[in-house]
Structure 1
Amino acid sequence: MAVNNRQIAENILAAVGGRENITSVTHCMTRLRFNLKDMGLPDQEQIKKLNGVLGVVVSGGQFQIIVGQNVPKVYAELCQMAGLQEQEAINENLDAPKEKLTPKKLGSNILNYLAGSMTPLIPILMAASMFKTFTTILGPTMLNVLSETSNLYILLDFLYDAGFYFLPIYIGYTAAKKIGASPVLGAYMGGILIAPDLLAIVSAGEPFTVLGIPMRLVSYTQSVLPIILSVAALYYVERLFKKIVPDAAAIVFVPTFTIFVMAPISLCLLAPLGSICSNYLAVILNTVAEYGGFIGKAVISAVWEFLVMTGMHTPLVLPAMATLMETGIDNLIFVCGKCAVYATIGMSIGAFFRLRGDERSASVGYLVSALMGGVTEPILYGIGLRYRRPFLGMIVGGLAGGAYAGIMGVAVHSMSPSNILSFTGFVGGSTMNLVNGIIALIISTAVSAAVTYVAGVESKPKAKA
């Protein structure tokens, strides 16, 4: 028998006291979460007996009705029926089995938090980086088409600044959304870290205290880890005040108390700690790049796509991204990643000249996917894993391109797509950095294509797993 979500919503609406008893309602992954004017009005035992209701929980000042996986549909019906404004779902499953927190699980949670905070910002980072690329190429340092005083140059320049200068605000929003805190409070926290008055205090260099606690004088514009750590703490502080502040006063005092408590915690402890960690990350990556030399870059470029296939690249990308945002340069991870992507493209080209019929046609689709969209998985799985032997070309191509990039000291100066426009990431340093970066990509592609063609593909491809 089909589930009648509208009937379930109608029964629940009546059971909680109707529209007039509802202040607001949202939902998580399994529950309708009501803020009610009169919490004593609903009969919990009667609600538990309703068709489609799995249970009732009163927690944190909310009347929560467990509906299960069809809660989004019931929620939509309820809002339409009661004339309520639909709110964004809370990314939380209170009814999932509680897993034991192990070191592995903790590490996974941290990586998920970092990835969930940064990944939504990629469109901003890409767009802002492209504007920076335009000013560099068209400006006095290269083609000299635009002067630094021209309106177009100034426009492109502040379009770039808007993307990176306010990074703590953007990350504050996405990090809070990921972790389950209020996104606007996360953005507010980011705004505090780059407030003009705070920047003036830092520039003046005079000692400053927050509620009597000494504050480290640091500029957090374009920073990543300070706001990441601050929002993680904000989640717990906000949740505490949601539990103890009466519902009638929650809309005013929960955010007020949360920010008042978080200000000294963030400005005097977590933000400086994040800044210190960022500095150490930069030192570590630069040390690896310096002492690993061209051999280190060659090896990373050769194995990078295997890390991508297993998801093991994330712990390397996130620190590199933070370092790039804060220092404006990366001479290891993103350089190697670009060489590896182009080695994968070369593998597809080499295989194209060896394959026949439908298999050749498929390789064209894989190649277009990588060149246009920067997606290498079709090549990795459709050619690499299927035929195995082409992986040799990808490895040798990555080795060659990475070695050249290491010898010539190539560095990435901005975020750029991993497609045909990947070379734009080399713009921002010297002209020779751009030239050598492009040469490294060409070497990766050409060597990979040649080795793949010479090695050939198996006459009978291995079946896909």
Structure 2
Amino acid sequence: MTGLLDKSSSSYAFLNMIFDTGFYFMPVFIGFSSTKMFGCNQYMGAFIDLAMVHPTWVAMVSKGTPVDFFGIPIMLAKYSSTIVPVLLSVWIMSYIERVVKRITPAIVKIFVEPMLVALISVPLALICIGPVGNVISQAIADGSMFVYGLLGSFALAVLAALYPWLVSIGMHKALSPISIMLVAQQGFDPVIRVVALCSNMAQAAAAMAVA
């Protein structure tokens, strides 16, 4: 935009890599953090999500050739920068882990338990849970864009007016995943970030007016 860096230069690529790292591997951070809520092993949560963004899987998705797991077809889907597929996968994994803990003998628990959890959870995540999560994510993003397209600035004004009350009860955090999904799928967020900025600027102007 400013012309300070050539987009084809290695410096631009390096800076873009730094910016994109957190966004690309966001499922891993979310998976690790969500285990606290679901009451399961943090490292297994991160492991499941790392498998969903593994270079081998990414290469399969990019290639586009149909793949299967022992005859079960797998939907090729990209899981980097996603939220819903990750949360669903870790949630289901938490139940799998509890069952495995109960049936695994104590003498071999240290290595058999994580192995069984991984062998069950990863295929399940890629075959079933991930695709369902992607459909939900797409529906949320499409729904947000539909409301924005239908009501336009009026919808933004109403949401911006309600935003301070959402902040006061902590519900504004529920809008953050929608913003991230919009950026991941549309490349930009014309709704949530605009609403937050307008609301904050309005409050700042009101505070300055009465100061």
Is residue 2:69 matched to residue 1:210? yes
Query: For residues 196 and 57 of structure 2, what CA distance do their matches in structure 1 show?
Result: 37
User: Higher helix share goes to which structure?
Assistant: 2
Matches within 5 A, 1:289-308: 289-308=148-167
Root-mean-square deviation (CA, aligned residues, Å) is: 1.6
| Contact 1:225/1:322 (8 A) holds in 2 | no
Whichever of the two has the greater Rg, that structure is: 1
Query: What per-residue deviation string (whole Å, max 9, x for no partner) do you get for residues 232-277 of structure 1?
Result: 0111111111111112211111010001111221111110011111
Is residue 2:102 matched to residue 1:243? yes
Matches within 5 A, 1:1-150: 142-150=1-9
> How many pairs are equivalent?
211
**How far did 1:175 drift?**
1.4
Equivalent of 1:160 in 19, 22, 29: 19
Find the counterpart in structure 2 of residue 190 from structure 1: 49
Find the counterpart in structure 1 of residue 175 from structure 2: 316
SS at match of 2:48: helix
**How far did 1:151 drift?**
4.1
| Contact 2:83/2:177 (8 A) holds in 1 | no
Is residue 2:90 matched to residue 1:231? yes
| Contact 1:224/1:326 (8 A) holds in 2 | no
Find the counterpart in structure 2 of residue 281 from structure 1: 140
Identity rate of aligned residues, in percent?
Answer: 30
Query: For residues 29 and 185 of structure 2, what CA distance do their matches in structure 1 show?
Result: 15
Find the counterpart in structure 2 of residue 343 from structure 1: 202
| Contact 2:48/2:90 (8 A) holds in 1 | yes
Query: What per-residue deviation string (whole Å, max 9, x for no partner) do you get for residues 4-43 of structure 1?
Result: xxxxxxxxxxxxxxxxxxxxxxxxxxxxxxxxxxxxxxxx
SS at match of 2:152: helix
Equivalent of 2:39 in 167, 180, 203: 180
Give 1:249's aligned amino acid. V
Query: For residues 256 and 187 of structure 1, what CA distance do their matches in structure 2 show?
Result: 14
Query: For residues 177 and 164 of structure 2, what CA distance do their matches in structure 1 show?
Result: 16
Give 1:288's aligned amino acid. V
Aligned pair in 2 of structure 1 residues 239, 284: CA closer, same or farther (>3 Å)?
A: same
| Contact 2:178/2:192 (8 A) holds in 1 | no
Find the counterpart in structure 2 of residue 257 from structure 1: 116
Query: For residues 136 and 123 of structure 2, what CA distance do their matches in structure 1 show?
Result: 19
Give 2:135's aligned amino acid. I
Query: For residues 67 and 47 of structure 2, what CA distance do their matches in structure 1 show?
Result: 21
Unaligned runs of 5+ in 1: 1-141, 353-465
Give 2:98's aligned amino acid. R
TM-score by length of 1: 0.44
The farther-off stretch of 171-180 and 335-344 is 171-180
Query: For residues 228 and 334 of structure 1, what CA distance do their matches in structure 2 show?
Result: 23
**How far did 1:214 drift?**
1.1
Give 2:4's aligned amino acid. V
Query: For residues 323 and 206 of structure 1, what CA distance do their matches in structure 2 show?
Result: 27
Find the counterpart in structure 2 of residue 22 from structure 1: none
**How far did 1:320 drift?**
2.9
| Contact 1:226/1:274 (8 A) holds in 2 | yes
